[in-house]
Structure 1
Amino acid sequence: MFESLAEKVKSHQVNPQSPMISVFQLEIAEFGDLLAWMKGQDTFPQYYLNFRDSVRKIAAIGKVRSFSDEISAQHFVASQDLTLVGGMTFAKQGHFWLPRLMIEQNAQGVRISVYMDNQADGAQEKREALNALKTLQHFTALEPLKQQVKLVSQKANQAQWCSWVERALIAIQQNKLTKVVLANESQFESAQPINAKDFLAESEKQNTGCYHFLYAENADCTFVGSTPERLFKRQGPQVKTEALAGTALMSDDEQQNQQQAAWLLQDRKNDEENLFVVKDICDNLQNVVTQVNVGKVELKQLRRVQHLRRQIEATLKPEFSDAACLQAIHPTAAVSGLPQQKAIAFLQNSENFDRTWYAGTLGVMSKQQGEFCVTIRCAFIEQNKIRIFAGAGIVEGSVPLLEWQEIERKASGLLTLLSSGE
C-alpha cells in the first residue's frame, strides 16, 4: 500500500527550483488504531492529539525542522503552508516542529505525509524518510492496564497545600490578587513499567468529551493527558475559545450529579471565578480582534468533575493568526490567575516545583487553521513512575480543605485508569 510513497521518495531529486520542504502524501480510507501504531514506534519525538469536538486525530514521529518560539513557527507556516505540531509550556517556552511522518485521521479518511528538508543532506534525508515509511507496518496491540500503584511523594501534603491556599486568600483580601490557581504534583510507583499508549487508550475510553494528547521527546519520559479545556480553535480569521472554571462533583449517583449541577449554576463564588477568566481572555484579545461575543454559562460534565463554561467567539484582525492567539490567551486565568503577572509571581514563590508542560498548551498550527488545548488532567510517565498534576482556582470564599479535595478528585480521574483492567 505504501510502496508508491517510497518510490516517490527514492526518485526525488533536488534542483534549484525545489521548494524548501518536499512533501509526499498518500490518502487512504483507513489505517488502524493510531495509538497502537505509536506503541510500535521507537523514533522520537512522538506526538499524538485526539481532538475534543471532532473525529480528527493526528499522530507524528520524527522531526525535520524545529522552532523555539511561536513567531518563527508562524513565519514558517505562512511561507510554506505546512502543518506544525507542538506548543508552549506554562512558562511560555515554545516547542514547535515539522514531523518526519504525520498521519491524520478525519471523517473523510486518512492522510499520510512524509517530509524531507531540501536544504539538508539529501542522502540522509532520503534514508530517514524511507525509514519513516517502513514504520507504517509496525503496530503493537494495546493492552488493559492492571497495575497497582502506591503514592511515593507529593510536592505538598494536605497541610502544606492548605497553607498555600491560606497565603493566597490573604493576598486576595489585601487586593493583591483576584484569583490564583494553585497546583500540586503527586508521584506514584508501580511494580511494572507503565505503558503511556495503553494508559492514554484507557483514558480515551473513560474520559470522554476531552482532548487526548501524548508528547515524548525521548524514550525516557512521556507527557500524556486528557483535558476538557480548549485554548482556542481558529478557522481562517474566526477564533473560538472558552472560559472553563468553577467546579463541582461528579459521581455514579445521577441524582447527586443533578443536585451538584444545579448548585454549581447558582453558586456565586464559582460563577465569579468563571467570569474572571472570561474578562481576562476578552481583555487580552482586544488588540488582535475586531469583535468578541461571549455565550451563556453552561455545564461541561466529565467523569469525576463538572465545570462551568462560557464559550467565546472572536474575529481576528487580518494581520494576526495563531501566534497572536497563543501570546494573548496562554496561560489563561483558568490555570494561572489574575492579575496574570502577579498571580504567576505568587505561584513561583509558593509552589515548590516546575510546572513545565502542566497547564501549558499543545496543538497544531497551519495556514488555514489552528487548534490548541490546555494541558491539564495530565501526567509524566517514566518507566514505572507516574507524576500526576492537578490544580484549583482560589478566589475570595475558597475553603482550603475543600480545594484540597477538589485537586485530589481531579488527579483521581487519571490515577484510577491504572487499575481499569482488573
Structure 2
Amino acid sequence: MDTLQQIKRDLISIIKCHRPSRKEKISIFRFQVTGYLELLSWLKAQDLYPQFYLNFRDNDKKLASIGTVLSFSALNEAQQFILSNKVSLVGGMKFNNNVMFFLPRLLLEQTKDSLCIQFVINNEINWLDEKKEILELLDSLTLTKPIQDIKQTIQLQTKKASQQEWESWVEDVLREIKKGILTKVVLSNETNFVTDSPLDDKDFLAKSEKYNKDCYHFLLAENKHCTFLGSSPERLYQRNGQSLVTEAVAGTAVITDNEKQNKQQATWLLNDEKNGYENWLVVKDIKQNLFPHIEEINIQDKEIKRLRQVQHLKRRITARLKCGYLDQICLESIHPTAAVAGVPKKESKSFIQQVETFSREWYAGTLGIMAEDYAEFTVTIRSAFIEDNNIRILAGAGIVEGSVPLLEWEEIERKALGLISLLHKE
C-alpha cells in the first residue's frame, strides 16, 4: 500500500521533531487513509511483540496491533486509563479471570475500504531509548509477507485425558448434579499434535478464516515462541455507549454432508429438552449477573447457529446498562459465562480446577477491544496454542442432568475438528 510509505515518512518526521511533554503520559498520532491492507499478511512481516489480531464476526472490521506502550493487570486501572486518556486498549481475561490489557505501540483498524493507524509514544520514559525503538519499528511498517497454504502433515501426540478418563469426569459431574451441588459444568480436554515442520500462526488462522465462517477470528502472540489463536462462534458482549448485546450459545447437534439430515438435526435441537435446558442455564446466569447493573433486558427466542462441524442453540440478549457502568462491570459480571464454566459459577470453576489435568490459560477466556464509548469481546473457544512444531487444541462440552458421557466425548471431538481438519484440507 503506497499510503503506508507516506505515513511512514510522516511518522519519522514527527518522531524527529517530538519533544516529550511532562503534562501528558502519552502522545497519540492517528492517520486515516483509503485502501485495503491484509492485516494478517502485514502482521506476518512484523517482529515486535506482543501481537494481537481480531476479525469481527458480524461486520467487516479487523484489528491488528504490535508492541506495547503500557500494560494493565487490573480491570479498574485499565478502565480508568481509558477514561482519562480517551484511548482504546486490547487484550482480555483468561478463564481464571487473570487480566491482561495493553495499549499497543501501533494499532491498525481495517474496514471495507478504510484503514486507521494509531501510533503511541510513551512520554514518561527516557526519550532517547523510546525514539530508537520507534525508529526501528518504523523500518518494518510497510512490510508484508504473503499468506501461504498449510503444507504440514500432523500426527497425534497425546490427549491430556483419554476417552475413558474424560467420560469418568462426566460421571463425576453427574453425581454432583444428582446431589444438588452442581447444576452444570463445562468440561474440556486438550489434544496435542506435532507437525513435520513449524506451523506459521498467521497462515493457520488465515485458513481458518476461509473455512470457519460466521466466527470471530483472534490471535494473541505474547512472544514469538507461542501463539494463542482460534475461530469462535460466540460473542461475550458488544457495548455501544450504555447499550449492551450479549448471547447464550449452548446446546449442540452434528453437521454432516447430508443437508436433509442437518435440517432434521436443527429441528431436533430446537425442540430437545436437554439442550434447551442447557441453553437456558446460560441465559439465566447472564441475566442474574447483569441484573444489578442494568435498567432493562430483552431475551430473544432460540435460533440455530450453524458452523462447519456443529450447530448450536443461540439466544440473543440485549440490555441497557445503568449510567456510569462500563466494561469493568460487564467483564466482571459476564465472564466466564455458564457456556464455558457452569452453574453455580464458583463451584463449577472449582470442580474444573480439581479435575482437569491441564491449565486452560486463554482457552474459554475472552479477548477484544475496549474504549470509552465502545467495546467488543469474543469468548475464546474453538482455539489452539501453536508452539513451533506443536499445536495444542482445546474443546469442551456442557454437562447437565441427562448428559450421556459417550455423546459428550463425541461432541468435543467434533468441535476440535474445526481447527484440526484444516491441516487435512487441500
State the TM bucket, normalised to the shorter chain: over 0.9
Q: Which amino acid aligns with 2:224?
A: A
Any conservation in 1 of the 2:160–2:358 contact (CA below 8 Å)? yes
Q: Give the Cα–Cα distance (whole angstroms) in 2 for the partners of residues 177 and 402 of structure 1.
A: 20
Once the two structures are superposed, the pairs formed by residues 111-130 of structure 1 within 5 Å of their partners are 111-130=116-135
Q: Which residue of 2 aligns with 1:58?
A: 63
Q: Give the match for residue 14 of structure 1.
A: 20
Q: Which residue in the other structure is 2:315 paired with?
A: 310
Equivalent in 374, 380, 386 of residue 379 of structure 2: 374
The equivalent position to 2:177 in structure 1, one of 167, 172, 194, is 172
Whether 1:134 and 2:125 are equivalent positions in the alignment is no
Question: 2:426 aligned with 1:410, yes or no?
Answer: no
List runs of 5+ in structure 2 lacking aligned partners.
Answer: 1-5
Distance across 2 between alignment mates of 1:197 and 1:30: 21
Take 1:188 and 1:58, find their aligned partners in 2: how far apart are those partners?
Answer: 29
Q: Which runs of 5+ in 1 are unaligned?
A: none
Structure 1 equivalent of residue 332 of structure 2: 327
Q: Distance in 2 between matches of 1:190 and 1:24?
A: 42
Query: Residue 162 of structure 1 aligns with which residue?
Result: 167
Shift of 1:313: 0.6
Cα distance per residue 1:284-333 (max 9 Å; x no partner): 00111111111111111000001000011111111210111000000000
What TM-score, normalized by structure 1, do the two folds share?
0.98
- 1:224–1:380: 8 Å Cα contact kept in structure 2? yes
Cα distance per residue 1:22-41 (max 9 Å; x no partner): 11121111242110111111
Paired position in structure 2 for 1:254? 259
The verdict on how the C-alpha distance between 1:15 and 1:337 changes in structure 2, with shifts beyond 3 A counting, is closer
Deviation at 1:107, TM superposition (A): 3.5
CA distance in 2, matches of 1:252, 1:116: 53
Q: What is the CA-CA distance between 1:339 and the residue it aligns to?
A: 0.6
Q: How far apart, CA to CA, are the structure 1 residues paired with 2:257 and 2:58?
A: 24
The corresponding residue for 1:4 is: 10
Q: Tell me the residue number matched to 2:3.
A: none
1:101 and 1:132 in contact (8 A); partners too: no
Deviation above 4 Å: which 4+ runs of structure 1?
Answer: none
- 2:268 equivalent in structure 1: 263
CA contact (8 A) 1:149 1:191 kept: yes
Indicate which of 347, 368, 387 corresponds to 2:352.
347
Contact 2:22 2:124 (C-alpha < 8 Å) held by counterparts: no
From 31, 36, 39, the equivalent of 1:34 is 39
**How many percent identity over aligned positions?**
50
Pair 1:145-2:150 in alignment:
yes
Correspondence for 1:288 among 293, 301, 306: 293
Q: How many residues are paired up?
A: 420
Residues 68-79 of structure 1 mapped to structure 2, 5 A cutoff: 68-79=73-84
Deviations 1:25-83 (A, max 9, x none): 21111242110111111111000000110111000000000000211100100100101
Q: Which amino acid aligns with 1:213?
A: F
Q: Is 1:203 aligned with 2:203?
A: no
CA RMSD after TM alignment: 1.0
Aligned partners of 1:238 and 1:314 also within 8 Å: yes
Q: Distance in 1 between matches of 2:118 and 2:134?
A: 10
Q: Which residue of 1 aligns with 2:238?
A: 233
